[in-house]
Amino acid sequence: MDIAPIFREIFDQFSSDNIYRSWHKISQEIRSGDEKERVFRLIVKISMQKLDTYEAGKEVNRENPQISAQFPDFLFKFLHAFQFLPSDQQTFANSMFLLKIIDLFGSECPKIINFSEISYISRLLELATNVLLKDLFENSVNLYPKDGKFRKIGARDLLDGVVMSEEPEDGKYKEKSFLKMKTKLMELEPRGNSDFERKYLDFESKNV
């Protein structure tokens, strides 16, 4: 199933509802990255019908009273767009993915959202639906050398792990696997013409 057109429709709805500006107002009152993640998890639970909106409202107020007044408006807009996804695609992963995109664009509150800039991530998410979560985390961890250092696995590592999932035992991933996977990821991504793609890929190249 090609989910890219569905995500495009969702992003169009986000723009129509002005959801990025709504989130921008909330994010200005959020005090830390950990607090933002806790708010995200509340929204994900609501979208997956694991928590009702009344209890969520109380939890948001306990978390940060400064955002409680603006939260219902944002939540309504998010849940409205989330329903565009087919039932089998209404997952924890897709819910969190959409929230991360809103946070990305809401931080700068841009006037124009270019779908092509995030279509590659959507394609990786399609592939991720065929990968067990346990395997995905293992692949992400294996991107780094076993040197005993503490590392926080992030969303980018998970996406890299998706690319790696088809050949996790290949010898070329054993030596300097993290840098090799970054190189492979950039080779798979065609260079676009947008400023976002050029700046992002140039940044990745310098770090490899």
Q: What is the pLDDT of residues 92-119, one digit of tens each?
A: 888 888 888 888 777 654 545 555 545 5
Report the distance separating Cα 134 and Cα 164, nearest Å: 14
Instruction: Select the highest-mean-pLDDT range: 50-59, 177-186, 187-196.
Output: 50-59
Of 49, 190, 27, which is closest to residue 104 (Cα–Cα)?
27
Mean pLDDT (the chain, rounded): 71
Q: Where are the chain's structural domains?
A: 4-112, 119-207
Verdict on whether the full-model pTM lies above 0.75: no
| Residue 7 banded pLDDT, cuts 50, 70, 90 | confident
What's phi and psi for 148, nearest 5 deg? 80, 0
The answer to whether 88 and 95 have CB atoms below 8 angstroms apart is no
pLDDT tens string 114-153: 555 455 555 555 555 544 555 666 666 666 767 777 766 6
Per the CB < 8 A criterion, the answer to whether 48 and 13 are in contact is no
Residue 207, pLDDT score: 44
- Percent of the chain residues past pLDDT 70, beyond the cut: 51
**According to DSSP H, which parts of 64-91 are helical?**
71-82
Residue 180 near residue 164 (C-beta atoms within 8 A): no
Question: Would the pLDDT of 55 be above 70?
Answer: yes
